[in-house]
Amino acid sequence: MRSSFLLFILICSLVFPLYGFKPALADIITLNNRSETFNGKIINETGTEMTVKLKTGGTVRFPKSWVKEIKKEDIPESELYTVQDIYLKKFENTDPKDAKAQLALAEWCLKNSTPENRLADMAIMHFNKANELDPAVAEKSGKDLKDAVDRKAKELYKWAEVDFNIEQYPNSERMLLSIIADYPESAYADKSKDLLVKIWGGNIASKILNAKDGLPEVVFSADSLSLASSHMDDKDMKEAYLAKCMAKAKDYENRAGEVAKEKKLGYYRYAINYYEALSSLDEPSIKEIARSRVQLLLKGFFEDNPIPRDDAKLAEMEEYLNIVEDRDFVANVANRYFKIGDDLLYKKAKKLKQPLKGQKAQDALFCYSLADNFSKDEKIRQVIADRILEARRLTRAKN
The predicted-structure confidence for 134-157, as pLDDT tens digits, reads as follows 888 777 666 666 777 777 788 889
Count of helix runs (H) and strand runs (E) in the chain: 18, 5
pLDDT at 33: 67
pLDDT at 18: 37
Of 60, 81, 102, the domain-final residue? 81
Separation CA 349–CA 353 (nearest Å): 8
375 lies in a domain? yes
Separation CA 358–CA 394 (nearest Å): 6
> How many CB atoms sit inside 10 A of residue 125's CB?
22
* Closest to 106 (Cα-Cα) out of 137, 77, 127, 85: 127
pLDDT at 7: 38
Query: Does 4 have pLDDT greater than 50?
Result: no
Of 34, 64, 81, the domain-final residue? 81
Query: Does 284 have pLDDT greater than 60?
Result: yes
pLDDT at 118: 64
Of 31, 46, 81, the domain-final residue? 81
Q: In what order do the strands lie in the sheet with 23-31?
A: 59-63, 49-54, 37-45, 23-31, 67-76
Rounded to the nearest integer, the mean pLDDT of the chain is: 82
Contact between residue 122 and residue 104 where contact means Cβ atoms under 8 Å apart: no
Lowest mean pLDDT among 80-89, 242-251, 278-287, 346-355: 80-89
Task: Name the residue with higher pLDDT: 59 or 269.
Answer: 269
pLDDT at 222: 75
Task: Name the residue with higher pLDDT: 39 or 80.
Answer: 39
- Vertex 287, ends 257 and 236: CA angle to 5°? 100
Query: Does 288 have pLDDT greater than 60?
Result: yes
DSSP 71-106: EEEEEEHHHH--HHHHHHHHHHTS-TT-HHHHHHHH
308 lies in a domain? no
In DSSP terms, which residues pair with 23 in a beta bridge? 76
What CATH number corresponds to the domain at position 71? 2.30.30
Maximum mean pLDDT: which of 112-126, 173-187, 285-299: 285-299
103 lies in a domain? no
Lowest mean pLDDT among 70-74, 227-231, 339-343: 227-231
Separation CA 169–CA 152 (nearest Å): 20
163 lies in a domain? no
390 lies in a domain? yes
pLDDT at 255: 81
Q: Please state, for a pLDDT cut of 90, what percent of the chain lies above it.
A: 29
pLDDT at 270: 85
259 lies in a domain? no
pLDDT band at 323 (very low <50, low <70, confident <90, very high): very high
112 lies in a domain? no
Separation CA 208–CA 152 (nearest Å): 24
In DSSP terms, which residues pair with 24 in a beta bridge? 75
Q: Which amino acid is at 81?
A: Y
Q: Which domain holds residue 364?
A: 321-399
Considering its fold, how many domains does the chain have in total?
Answer: 2
pLDDT at 365: 94
The whole model's pTM is what?
Answer: 0.62
Q: What is the mean pLDDT of residues 308-332?
A: 92
Contact between residue 337 and residue 367 where contact means Cβ atoms under 8 Å apart: yes
369 lies in a domain? yes
Query: Does 11 have pLDDT greater than 50?
Result: no
pLDDT at 228: 72
CA distances to 44, 279, 376 from 86, rounded to whole Å, are 17, 30, 31
pLDDT at 1: 39
Separation CA 360–CA 354 (nearest Å): 10
Separation CA 327–CA 309 (nearest Å): 24
SS3 state of residue 68: strand
pLDDT band at 363 (very low <50, low <70, confident <90, very high): very high
